Amino acid sequence: MRIAIACGLVFGAVALLPQQAAAQFAEKKVLTLEIARKIVATAETDASRNHLAGVVAVVDDGGWPISLQRRG
């Protein structure tokens, strides 16, 4: 009887995983290209105000580039 109850609990928990994963995915914030462009524009404004040159790189939470802008 205990084995049947334990199996029922395990299968019940597995059935809930996709819903929990979907809820986490729905709540995840993402960095869009539009927002990345605003970040680059703000960084360029600050750089020109301070007479700086360089590269502005905007990456996502995995480190993948969203936008890369060289300022010379």
pLDDT digits (tens, 9 = 90+) for 26-60: 677 788 999 999 999 999 999 999 999 999 999 98
pLDDT digits (tens, 9 = 90+) for 10-23: 444 445 556 666 66
Whole domain around residue 54: which residue ranges? 2-71
d(CA 17, CA 32): 27
pTM of the predicted model, to two decimals? 0.59
Specify the pairing of strand 54-59 against strand 65-71.
antiparallel
Q: How many domains does the chain have?
A: 1
Residue 62, pLDDT above cutoff 80:
yes
